[in-house]
């Protein structure tokens, strides 16, 4: 029996991934991630569990317009003792802007007996009427068969009966979930094969977890055995050991195994970007060893390999890194460092003669700075300023003499505990010394306010500049509060431009100042502002 080659990709980063310890998506985070998934051509985006938490309520009340994906609400089959129509949890997931739901239910008799304490036959009816009730109101209804593999091993007839109940009631997909994550790939392959033989029509989906480090392999095995919907999360985000990594799944299923999907042209090349997007949103370090998209995934270390790689990359690379938006890195090699830097120059539109001594100097400076904690990957504007500074093509717009920032917590006159910040800056601009004070919620906020007071009158271009994002990372944190701090700032302006800058120092306020300085300088440079020092001279 042949089956079609078309797989349906179902992303649950915003639902199952969101359950991870320490993960708190804001509505803005969910919108950004969902938009990118839709843009790539993912078939289903499970946005969360409306009714279970306020963030999901807001997200589902006003989701983005999707061009490609079906937007899915997750929920549970109805509780005992209520009809489907009167189950508030079920109603909550049927009354949002989503037109598709994925409902989880038990398929392991042990769970029905012990965890739910219900009659098994009654439970089959609960599955059936929940699905039927939803089917009357949604475009598509799916059934997440929880603990399916444990359930099938214990009592295959009951597990299949649960699937049949959902199928007959109108479920489009029956998703077999390895909820505890303990099933081995060969077992998955056997069981999925048996289920597909009993339930034809390409309705079987697969949802695995990484508790034995086999989530991806389990999914591949299920697909080979007939599953056609594939669930996963970006970067394998998920509780305990994570979910199946959607990025590895896509690369493996499409590039290695030749399956078709709904992915748009260019989607594969955006996989690296997708991975970094989630890291940025969660403010977590990138997993450098991630398959396909890790920064080290195509890093060749000196010695045996390097000359072979350069003769023919196929000798040491299993795929072309650019297929997934990644790049080859050759480490411990001046020659390769040089080609990396030249490529960066081209990327930012800098015409540089490779023989210009500034190139070698810049390479040295970047290496030193990166050893101190700078990371120019995510701070394009700081890198460009560094390069232009070495090439003498960016002027100094002002010169900081000093700043002083005060943070205070005390009880005010009304007996309330307050925390406030005040900053004073002294800088030279337009031929005079400016001294201004500003206040704010916190030290960096106050410093920014003081700087603007001093600079906007001289550089009106700065008036529409605003801080969009602010990230702090402590490096060498094993040193406690005496560690190095890296601050990255993203700025924006009324022209819709965005640029990222970086500052590093053991002192977080100092690091923030460095990032702010670059942000301001970059804005003035891009706007072609005349340095006030020149104005003073010609006045």
Residues 161-200 that bind a copy of itself (CB under 8 A): 179-186
Q: With CB under 8 A, what is the number of residues at the site for a copy of itself?
A: 122
With residue 109 as reference, give the H or E element that holds it. Answer: helix 109-110
Rounded Cα distance between 129 and 134, Å, is 8
If one counts every other C-beta atom within 10 angstroms of the C-beta of residue 411, the result is: 9
> Which among 122-130, 196-204, 348-356, 369-377 is the span making contact with a copy of itself, rule CB under 8 A?
369-377
Q: Name all contacts of 82-85 with Cβ < 8 Å and 24+ positions apart.
A: 83/129, 84/129, 84/130, 84/132, 84/133, 84/134, 85/133
User: Is 347 a residue that touches a copy of itself (CB under 8 A)?
Assistant: no
Residue 299 binding a copy of itself, by CB under 8 A: yes
Residue 239: exposure state from Cβ atoms within 10 A (0-12, 13-18, ≥19): middle
Instruction: Count other Cβ atoms within 10 Å, centred on residue 2.
Output: 4
CB closer to a copy of itself out of 84 and 297: 297
Q: Give the nearer residue to a copy of itself in terms of CB position, either 69 or 92.
A: 92
Are β-strands 484-492 and 498-505 bridged in parallel, bridged antiparallel, or unpaired?
A: antiparallel
Tokens of 156: 């295959």
Counting contacts by CB under 8 A, is residue 421 touching a copy of itself?
yes
213 is an interface residue for a copy of itself by CB under 8 A: yes
Q: Which of 82, 137, 153, 314 binds a copy of itself (CB under 8 A)?
A: 314
d(CA 458, CA 523): 14
Cβ nearer to a copy of itself, comparing 83 with 315: 315
Per-residue x/- marks for a copy of itself, 278-297, CB under 8 A? -----x-----xxxx-x-xx
User: Which residues in the 26-85 window bind a copy of itself by CB under 8 A?
Assistant: 26, 28, 52-54
Complex with a copy of itself: residue 448 or 518, whichever CB lies closer: 448
Beta strands in 107-177, from DSSP E residues, in sequence order: 140-146, 173-177
CA 441, chain centre distance (Å): 28
Q: Does 267 bind a copy of itself (CB under 8 A)?
A: no
Residue in 194, 350, 403, 437 binding a copy of itself, rule: CB under 8 A: 403
**Span 463-492, contacts to a copy of itself by CB under 8 A:** 466-478, 480-483, 485
- C-beta separation of 74 from 94 below 8 A: no
Contact between 348 and a copy of itself by CB under 8 A: the answer reads: no
- Between 456 and 468, CB nearer to a copy of itself: 468
CA torsion sign for 38, 39, 40, 41 is positive
Using CB under 8 A as the binding rule, whether residue 433 contacts a copy of itself is answered as: no
Among 80, 197, 241, 399, binds a copy of itself (CB under 8 A): 241
In terms of CB distance, is 69 or 375 closer to a copy of itself? 375
């Amino acid at each position: 029996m042949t089956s079609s080659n078309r797989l349906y990709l179902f992303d649950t980063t915003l639902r199952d991934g969101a359950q991870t310890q320490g993960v708190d998506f804001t509505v803005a985070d969910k919108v950004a991630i969902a938009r990118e998934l839709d843009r790539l051509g993912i078939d289903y985006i499970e946005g969360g569990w409306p009714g279970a938490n306020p963030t999901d309520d807001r997200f589902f009340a006003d989701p983005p317009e999707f061009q490609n994906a079906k937007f899915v609400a997750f929920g549970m089959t109805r509780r005992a003792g209520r009809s489907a129509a009167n189950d508030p949890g079920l109603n909550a997931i049927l009354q949002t802007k989503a037109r598709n739901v994925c409902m989880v239910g038990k398929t392991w008799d042990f769970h029905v007996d012990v965890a739910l304490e219900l009659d098994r036959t009654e439970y089959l009816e609960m599955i059936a009427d929940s699905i039927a009730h939803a089917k009357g109101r949604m475009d598509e209804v799916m059934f997440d068969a929880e603990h399916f593999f444990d359930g099938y091993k214990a009592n295959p007839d009951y597990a299949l009966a649960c699937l049949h109940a959902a199928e007959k009631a109108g479920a489009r997909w029956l998703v077999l979930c390895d909820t505890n994550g303990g099933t081995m790939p060969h077992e998955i392959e056997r069981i999925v094969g048996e289920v597909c033989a009993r339930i034809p029509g390409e309705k079987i989906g697969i949802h695995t977890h990484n508790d034995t480090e086999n989530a991806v392999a389990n999914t591949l095995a299920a697909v080979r055995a007939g599953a056609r919907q594939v669930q996963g999360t970006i970067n394998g985000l998920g509780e305990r050991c994570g979910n199946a990594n959607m990025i590895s799944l896509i690369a493996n299923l499409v590039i290695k195994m030749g399956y078709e999907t709904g992915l748009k042209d260019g989607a594969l090349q955006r996989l690296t970007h997708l991975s970094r997007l989630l890291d940025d949103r969660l403010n977590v370090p990138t997993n450098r060893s991630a398959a396909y998209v890790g920064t080290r995934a195509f890093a060749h270390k000196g010695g045996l390999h390097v000359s072979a790689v350069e003769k023919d990359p196929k000798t040491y690379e299993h795929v072309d890194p650019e297929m997934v938006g990644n790049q080859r890195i050759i480490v411990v090699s001046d020659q390769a460092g040089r080609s990396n830097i030249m490529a960066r120059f081209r990327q930012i539109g800098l015409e540089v003669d490779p023989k210009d001594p500034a190139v070698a100097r810049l390479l040295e400076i970047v290496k030193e700075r990166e050893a101190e904690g700078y990371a120019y990957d995510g701070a394009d504007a700081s890198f460009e300023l560094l390069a232009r500074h070495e090439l003498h093509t960016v002027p100094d717009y002002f010169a900081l003499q000093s700043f002083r920032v005060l943070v205070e917590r005390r009880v005010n006159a009304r007996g309330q505990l307050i925390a406030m910040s005040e900053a004073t800056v002294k800088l030279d601009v337009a031929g005079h010394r400016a001294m201004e004070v500003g206040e704010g919620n916190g030290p960096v906020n106050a410093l920014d306010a003081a700087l603007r007071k001093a600079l906007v009158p001289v550089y009106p271009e700065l008036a529409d500049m605003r801080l969009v994002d602010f990230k702090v990372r402590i490096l060498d944190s094993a040193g406690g509060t005496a560690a190095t701090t890296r601050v990255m700032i993203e700025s924006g302006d009324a022209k819709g431009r965005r640029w990222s800058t970086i500052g590093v120092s053991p002192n977080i306020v100092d690091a923030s100042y460095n990032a702010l300085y670059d942000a301001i300088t970059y804005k003035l440079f891009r706007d072609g502002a005349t340095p006030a020092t020149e104005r003073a001279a010609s006045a």
